[in-house]
Copies of this chain bind each other. A is one copy, B any other.
Amino acid sequence: MRFLSSVEMEAHELTIVSSSLKELETHSNLDTVNLGQHVLAEFFECDSNILNNIDKVEKYMIDAALECGATIVQKCFHMFNPYGVSGVVIISESHLAIHTWPELGYAAVDLFTCGTKCDPKVAYEFLKKMFNSKKASFTELKRGIIDRETLKLSEQPFEVAEQFEE
């Protein structure tokens, strides 16, 4: 594979940034574009039998990725002894990761997506329903923030875009 020269890199960088900006054109009040949306979801009071079933957890994570419009690239899931499941679905738009504590009815889920094609909130709502979670929280972080004016990466930590509990 040919690697880009620094001049080509810069041209490409501007192209992808312009393309991201184009995707966000309708959001005229935004002064930044971010490369990734990272949702931290906490699911409490879930069905422990589901959280301890690797087949179900894997199926629901894959379905959640498909529901929110993602393209699945790879997946790996692991069942811990005596209980608990960890797993990741790599998607073209980044990844979905889960860790479950069936003994506490708790699952920590990360939904990391790029671009505007996927809506992580759809995956969150889907998993909340599938896990029978009675209480959950959703926090969306912006990662890799690009300043619209300078078209450069803002070298700052993430920003919190949205947070709610239900």
Contact = CB atoms under 8 A, between A and B. Distances in A.
Contacts of A106: 35, 144, 153
A132 B100 CA distance: 34
Contact of A157 (B12, B42, B74, B87): B42
A71 B68 CA distance: 32
For this chain, the copies found in one complex come to: 2
A155 B86 contact: no
Given A88-B88, A137-B157, A75 B76 contact: yes
Contact of A165 (B99, B156, B165): B156
A3 B52 CA distance: 9
Interface in A61-119: 73-76, 78, 80, 82-83, 86-88, 90, 92, 94-95, 97, 99, 101, 103-106, 108, 110, 112, 114
Interface stretch (A23-31, A43-51, A123-131): A43-51
A158 B42 contact: yes
Contacts of A110: 97, 110, 112
A163 B155 contact: no
Contact of A143 (B16, B42, B75, B95): B42
A73 to B, nearest CB: 5
Given A76-B88, A90-B86, A141-B40, A101 B12 contact: no
